[in-house]
Structure 1
Amino acid sequence: MEERLEGTEKEVLSLKEMMLEMKKSMDRLADELRENQSYKMKEESGTSDRSIMKMKGKMEETDITGEVNTHLVNRKHFFEINNLPEAEKVKVAVVSFGQDEVDWYRWSHNRKKQGGSYNDYVKKFVNYSAPLPHMTESVLRDAFLTGLEPALQAEVMSRHPQTLEECMMAAQLVNDRNLALKLTQAEMGIMEPKRNEATTTKVPWNNDKGSMRKNEFQMKQITIPLKGSNHKGEPPVKRLSDAEFRARLDKGPCFRKESTKEGESSDTQKIEPLEINQLEVLEEAVIEYRAITNLTTKGTMKLRGVVKGKEITVLIDSGATHNFIHCELVIERKIPIDRNTQFGVTIGDGTSCKGKGICSQVEIQLEGLKVVTDLLVVELGKVDVVLGMQWLDTTGTMKIHWPSLTMVFWKEGNKTWEAEDQGFLIDWQDYEIENDYKESKKTGQQGDEEGLPMIQFLLNQYSDVFDIPTTLPPKRAVDHRIFTMPGQKPINVRPYKYGHQQKEEIEKLVTEMLQTGIIRPSHSPFSSPVLLVKKKDGGWRFCVDYGKLNKITIADKFPIPVIEELLDELHGATVFSKLDLKSGYHQIRMKEEDIEKTAFRTHEGHYEFMVMPFGLTNAPATFQSLMNQVFKPFLRRCVLIFFDDILVYSSDITEHERHLGMVFAILRDNQLYANRKKCVFAHSQIQYLGHIISKHGVEADQDKVRSMLQWPQPQDITGLRGFLGLTGYYRRFVKSYGEIAAPLTKLLQKNAFKWDENATLAFESLKLAMTTIPVLVLPDWSLPFMIETDASGSGLGAVLSQNGHPIAFFSQKLSPRAQSKSIYERELMAVVLSVQKWRHYLLGRRFTIISDQKALKFLSEQREVQPQFQKWLTKLLGNDFEILYQPGLQNKAADALSRMDHQLELKAMSTAGIVDMETVTKEVDKDEELQLIAQQLQTDRHWRGNIPC
């Protein structure tokens, strides 16, 4: 056996040498062709040109088709039979080249590897490949991959592209992601780890016969730092419960270092213990199922079923290898799930996603049949459950008639179950649901772009961004710190008294947090009490009352964004996506020295948080700081951040796909996880921070408007503050808000709450104003701004606009002292206060002010200014503006803002009622004329009588 192997190795070496000689000869021939020399071989070892051409003819007669190795062996045998010298072998082989081989030679001669940017490489690749029409796509694809930089090549190969176009698309996405990452790292001052600091385990890529494997889930690249290295980046720490920790210690897990050379010292072979905090790598199974669409496809049937009391859609798919269940159904019906089972799913379009666990022995009620089976949890399309070959193999004899979509099961010669496809009814119901206009108006989110292939491709490629984190977040530059005032003693507050039910709930929640690793037992001198807050779904939210700790904490002055200023950046955007981070605060670690300050005490124990808890005074500032740092290269370009709400905006869908890919890449690389259920992708209208945003502008969220209209009359100052707080959030949309709300704001003064007719009138007027709020356009920074101002005897008003479209409204109630001032000074106040209000729009650009006070037109030309006006004029210094006069009758918008009609006028009244069909039927039976018409229609359905048509 060893002799045969040695012989084979010698043959392989001989063939390699021969190929090298052929390559050298081909290079020499190419040089001769370029210099226009005659295509003629010199004689060597007594062989003439005629004999070479004769040999060429004989070689062409031999069968050289098939595999490359067979081709080489055949040529080798031909050379041996004809007893050719080494130099002649190369010449004869070159002369016998066909068209494909010539193309290959030309490509290998011109081919370039990526030496600069990716875009330059693509241009060169296209230029070099264009003159080769005979080159197959598989060769071009492999050549494109081979020329990429090693790191880029490895990641593109891990996506298993099948065509040249898929290769280029995947490479473009990875390249964009890498560029975004470099920008982020540069901004954060992060250095890349050195190569010798960690050993990297990669999943091998197989490309047998030029084809890439489809049925393989993309495994993550795992990096395990070596002992003694200074690598700053730490591997993710697997959260272990106490029971798991003890089991790992008892089991004593270990790993063996593999030898790389023969005769290596035994010390390299020794077994070393694997540290508990190292990442545990599990093998992932691969499961393939057929792509699911709305309509029933060949080889599938749709049926109605019931799981846990809920009616569902079941797809029976002969092309699916396993059974699946939608993750949303699992959450909704609270079906137990085992998340330790890891697997991947390959969809029919070649993309992959990661499974979310397995539900064991789930009972599904079909029509007349009970199915109990294991289901793999994934995100499905328009169906809730897929029953594949895993279940079909257990049904015994089965007869399916695909044209009529009927299925019959037989057991021991007896028919046990029969079913008929209900796909049409199910699809029609889905169609009605999807086209429900009320639903789209209710959510305030419209768009059908999420189903685009590229968006789905991105969601599949970055499915791990929506996973439930199983490790503690990494240590970052922005971990949460708690700086307390000097000389303060540790805060120690006794726990509150809890009822029996609350104690059980606290014990349950604490156990869950211990198992996930969010908290740990504590011996800290600090202690804060626990609060349970009732949630909308009836459950309890675990909170810690850090009130005492917050009082001695030094406030963080990191700036929190102003929502109005954020929305001003959206001009020109037509496509929007919204991402919501999952348990956002828990994705940030606590600084080790400050963990003890987060300690809390329950009736059963003392614990502390490993991650940033809710309720700390500086937690919002820390979170906003991290998000700004991570997304800094894209802020105000395509991303807006308000705590854990991320808005991605673009001018068109193509640009939006690129922006989404970069955002997903940043989330993945920073180990930040999003809540897929709360995310919205590629919509033309979207709900964000209480506003509805579209290409037309910004409007108030209709849900919030309904809340205002349904607000009961306040009975105390707390209820009034809540109403004014909600309406005040949208005051920029409301004309004369300050003047309308003036009677209500007076009631907020100390000991002044006394509800009267004026308060009722203002309360109802403000509700009415909220029903007519307009859509405000987004500012276009390339156009000039215009301010229209006006002042009445009781208030001031102004409108900021561009091209006649309002951007914002401003109004203010005048104090009694200000009301006594001259009309000129009140008009000047309106100009100054409105300029100050919108200063961030107007600085550095020329704008126009329109007023119905003609004397203000000459404001900048006055040589002498009276002392009472000087303080107002100094506030206008530094602004570049022009004041134009417009009579009050033409300046309607600002004039309306400064005035309020205190008399309500009833234009119309409408009421809604319920139609009692029983009463209608009784009345019809009593009416003789209607009975006569009914009898005529029963005898002649086309009868119309004297009924007008």
Structure 2
Amino acid sequence: MPGIDPNFICHKLSIIPGSKPVAQRKRKVSAEKAAAIEEKVAELLRAGFIREIDYTDWLANTVLVKKPNGKWRMCVDYTDLNKVCPKDQYPLPVIDKLVDSSAGYKLLSFMDAYSGYNKIPMFPADQDKTAFITDKATYCYNVMPFGLKNAGATYQRMMNKVFQGMIGRNMEVYIDDIIAKSRQGIEANPDKCKAILEMRSPANLKEVQQLTGRVAALSRFLSQAARKALPWYQLLRKNKEFLWDEHYEQAFVQLKEYLSSPPVLHSPLPGENLILYMSVAEAAVSSVLVREDSGIEAPVYFVSRALQGPELRYQKLEKLAYCLVTSARRLRQYFQAHRILVRTAQPLRQVLHKPDLAGRMVSWSVELSEFDITYEPRKAMKSQALADFITEFTDIPSDISQNLWSVYVDGSSNKKGAGAGVIIENPEGLCMEYSLKFEFQTSNNQEEYEAVLAGLKMVHEFGAERVSVFSDSQLVVSQIKGQYSAKEPILQKYLEEPSNCK
């Protein structure tokens, strides 16, 4: 069978120097399997893919795997050989990018290269290292076999060379799978949707696991997938007797209703701005990446993640920031290639860009700094597919009658130093906590004033118009209200600033 010219490409093992060869002991197989092995060996000999070998330091056993049609597939156990071969870092295509680049075409032709790996010759000096044993003899491969580490990288390297100039234009290649495309959106696999739509209500934990696995496979098309599947994940976590009650059944029915007409996703154009909407629930965060065309917003990708452990205790604004970070990690290929417009009604930009951030927020801010992200106020959404993202915080009552911010302050001092704590709460109930340390000597009243001024400056940066300040210092509160007069000159200076914010 003809193959690739070895001068064009061949597969080299590049074994780590000093590695000790391993010759596996021959394993016993049944008569049925032995016959299947000899039949496959004869076929490989006729094709010229293998040859008999007499002496070898490396030796592996054959492994038979049954195909769906009942026939046997012969593989070779190269576990020991693969352990001493360093990983080839040649980049493989990103599946999501291949899907996007195939969107918008009316005809797609799917092809699979027949015996593709066996078209690439083995480097002559490495052929004897591929040796394997059967009941009758030992053989080695003249061509690249399945099961070798880095075989996929070698094959992708060859395909990129062969189809250079065509990949991305009228075809896409992932190792030995090829798509020829001839110029509609990205639709969910109807077979995967059908598998859930026709699925009966789970009767045991194994069937719940099967359901969550099918949901995960469609997560790109599912708005708030983690929130929809959260009841079933919680059921799997509980070490209790299985009980499928009305709560789980209702979530199952709602999922089927959604999948009866799943959204069609769209592929973004190179260089265009993309929009990110986020939604935060008590135990899950979700986002949708959107492209805008002629005033119509069309979804590109849905991202969702169930919160676990300490994440459940994040403040609501922290959860929103975490949602942005999660989206950037999952959709890195989009964040790197496009400007991302984050549409939010929350002061997310001000929080992430504050110089006095600490802990995880500062690490998230640094992580996001590599991307071109801008923030803008939310607008009315015009897509039914984005209905789940109309509100950012699904567990917060939407009836907020007053646009009132609250600032809680408390100062303290001792021989070691002085400081203060500030908690800011926005009208939606989001809380932000800050700690202040003073590098100068202060009295208790001065610390309280410093905390008040710091809190007022922060809410001013957030665009607050109405603010209530809460302090446990009766003197400071009474002086700001004008009920007490400030006799000390230093306190009079403090009083001049907050008096303008009453």
Asked if 1:648 corresponds to 2:143, the answer is no
Local SS of the residue matching 2:92: coil
TM-score, structure 2 normalization: 0.66
Contact 2:192 2:218 in 1 (8 A): no
Task: Kindly name which structure, 1 or 2, has the bigger radius of gyration based on alpha carbons.
Answer: 1
Asked if 1:881 corresponds to 2:374, the answer is yes
Asked if 1:563 corresponds to 2:95, the answer is yes
Amino acid at match of 2:389: A
- Relative distance call for 1:554 and 1:859 in structure 2 (3 A) is closer
The aligned residue for residue 494 of structure 1 is 25
The aligned residue for residue 827 of structure 1 is 320
Asked if 1:774 corresponds to 2:263, the answer is yes
Q: Aligned equivalents of 2:62 and 2:203: distance in 1?
A: 32
Q: Aligned equivalents of 2:158 and 2:232: distance in 1?
A: 40
Task: Pick from 41, 44, 48 the counterpart of residue 517 of structure 1.
Answer: 48
Local SS of the residue matching 1:628: helix
TM alignment of 1:337-736, pairs within 5 A: 470-523=1-54, 524-570=56-102, 572-651=104-183, 696-708=184-196, 713=202, 724-736=212-224
TM alignment of 1:152-167, pairs within 5 A: none
Q: Tell me by how many angstroms 1:746 deviates.
A: 6.3
The aligned residue for residue 424 of structure 2 is none
Contact 2:53 2:139 in 1 (8 A): yes
Residue-pair matches, total: 383
Amino acid at match of 1:778: S
The aligned residue for residue 317 of structure 1 is none
Q: Aligned equivalents of 1:484 and 1:721: distance in 2?
A: 40
The aligned residue for residue 458 of structure 2 is none
Task: Pick from 272, 282, 286 the counterpart of residue 793 of structure 1.
Answer: 282
Q: Tell me by how many angstroms 1:815 deviates.
A: 3.0
Q: Aligned equivalents of 1:495 and 1:722: distance in 2?
A: 37
Task: Pick from 894, 898, 901 the counterpart of residue 389 of structure 2.
Answer: 894
Q: Aligned equivalents of 2:273 and 2:130: distance in 1?
A: 52
Contact 1:777 1:805 in 2 (8 A): yes
The aligned residue for residue 808 of structure 1 is 301
Amino acid at match of 2:277: E
Q: Tell me by how many angstroms 1:787 deviates.
A: 1.0
Amino acid at match of 1:785: L
Instruction: State the Cα deviation string for residues 580-626 of structure 1 (Å, max 9, x = none).
Output: 21111111111111111111111111111111111112211111111
Local SS of the residue matching 2:60: coil
Instruction: State the Cα deviation string for residues 642-696 of structure 1 (Å, max 9, x = none).
Output: 0111222244xxxxxxxxxxxxxxxxxxxxxxxxxxxxxxxxxxxxxxxxxxxx2
Q: Aligned equivalents of 2:63 and 2:36: distance in 1?
A: 11
Amino acid at match of 2:367: K
Q: Aligned equivalents of 2:217 and 2:289: distance in 1?
A: 18
Local SS of the residue matching 1:490: coil
Local SS of the residue matching 1:698: coil
The aligned residue for residue 662 of structure 1 is none
Q: Aligned equivalents of 2:11 and 2:181: distance in 1?
A: 30
The aligned residue for residue 415 of structure 2 is none
Contact 1:800 1:807 in 2 (8 A): yes
Q: Tell me by how many angstroms 1:837 deviates.
A: 3.3
TM alignment of 1:71-90, pairs within 5 A: none
Q: Aligned equivalents of 2:317 and 2:72: distance in 1?
A: 60
Instruction: State the Cα deviation string for residues 276-335 of structure 1 (Å, max 9, x = none).
Output: xxxxxxxxxxxxxxxxxxxxxxxxxxxxxxxxxxxxxxxxxxxxxxxxxxxxxxxxxxxx
The aligned residue for residue 453 of structure 2 is none
Q: Aligned equivalents of 1:520 and 1:763: distance in 2?
A: 58
Q: Aligned equivalents of 2:203 and 2:22: distance in 1?
A: 38
- Relative distance call for 1:859 and 1:752 in structure 2 (3 A) is same
TM-score, structure 1 normalization: 0.37
Q: Aligned equivalents of 1:519 and 1:753: distance in 2?
A: 55
Q: Tell me by how many angstroms 1:776 deviates.
A: 0.8
- Relative distance call for 1:599 and 1:727 in structure 2 (3 A) is farther
Q: Tell me by how many angstroms 1:889 deviates.
A: 12
Instruction: State the Cα deviation string for residues 240-292 of structure 1 (Å, max 9, x = none).
Output: xxxxxxxxxxxxxxxxxxxxxxxxxxxxxxxxxxxxxxxxxxxxxxxxxxxxx
Amino acid at match of 2:291: Q
Contact 2:289 2:301 in 1 (8 A): yes
Q: Tell me by how many angstroms 1:880 deviates.
A: 4.0
Instruction: State the Cα deviation string for residues 470-504 of structure 1 (Å, max 9, x = none).
Output: 33543143211222233222221123222222222
Q: Aligned equivalents of 2:336 and 2:170: distance in 1?
A: 23
Local SS of the residue matching 1:882: strand
The aligned residue for residue 115 of structure 1 is none
The aligned residue for residue 344 of structure 1 is none
Contact 1:789 1:894 in 2 (8 A): yes
Contact 1:794 1:899 in 2 (8 A): no
TM alignment of 1:159-238, pairs within 5 A: none
Q: Tell me by how many angstroms 1:806 deviates.
A: 0.6
Q: Aligned equivalents of 1:889 and 1:514: distance in 2?
A: 64
Q: Aligned equivalents of 2:309 and 2:158: distance in 1?
A: 48
- Relative distance call for 1:553 and 1:722 in structure 2 (3 A) is farther
Amino acid at match of 2:376: I
Contact 1:844 1:880 in 2 (8 A): no
Q: Tell me by how many angstroms 1:771 deviates.
A: 4.8
Instruction: State the Cα deviation string for residues 54-73 of structure 1 (Å, max 9, x = none).
Output: xxxxxxxxxxxxxxxxxxxx
Q: Tell me by how many angstroms 1:834 deviates.
A: 2.5
Instruction: State the Cα deviation string for residues 388-419 of structure 1 (Å, max 9, x = none).
Output: xxxxxxxxxxxxxxxxxxxxxxxxxxxxxxxx
- Relative distance call for 1:726 and 1:619 in structure 2 (3 A) is farther
Q: Tell me by how many angstroms 1:821 deviates.
A: 3.2
- Relative distance call for 1:755 and 1:612 in structure 2 (3 A) is farther
- Relative distance call for 1:714 and 1:549 in structure 2 (3 A) is farther
- Relative distance call for 1:592 and 1:708 in structure 2 (3 A) is farther
Contact 1:481 1:591 in 2 (8 A): yes
Q: Aligned equivalents of 1:897 and 1:772: distance in 2?
A: 24
Contact 1:495 1:529 in 2 (8 A): yes
TM alignment of 1:304-343, pairs within 5 A: none
Contact 1:811 1:898 in 2 (8 A): no
Q: Aligned equivalents of 1:776 and 1:887: distance in 2?
A: 20
- Relative distance call for 1:507 and 1:739 in structure 2 (3 A) is same
- Relative distance call for 1:781 and 1:755 in structure 2 (3 A) is farther
Amino acid at match of 1:802: R
- Relative distance call for 1:561 and 1:641 in structure 2 (3 A) is same
Gaps of 5+ in 1: 1-469, 652-695, 901-949
Q: Aligned equivalents of 1:720 and 1:728: distance in 2?
A: 12
- Relative distance call for 1:650 and 1:857 in structure 2 (3 A) is same
Contact 1:747 1:754 in 2 (8 A): no
The aligned residue for residue 848 of structure 1 is 341
**CA-atom RMSD in angstroms:** 3.6
By percentage of residues, which structure has more helix?
Answer: 1
Local SS of the residue matching 2:145: coil
- Relative distance call for 1:471 and 1:631 in structure 2 (3 A) is closer
Q: Tell me by how many angstroms 1:865 deviates.
A: 5.1
- Which gives a bigger RCO, structure 1 or 2 (Cα 8 Å, sep 6+)? 2
Contact 2:171 2:180 in 1 (8 A): yes
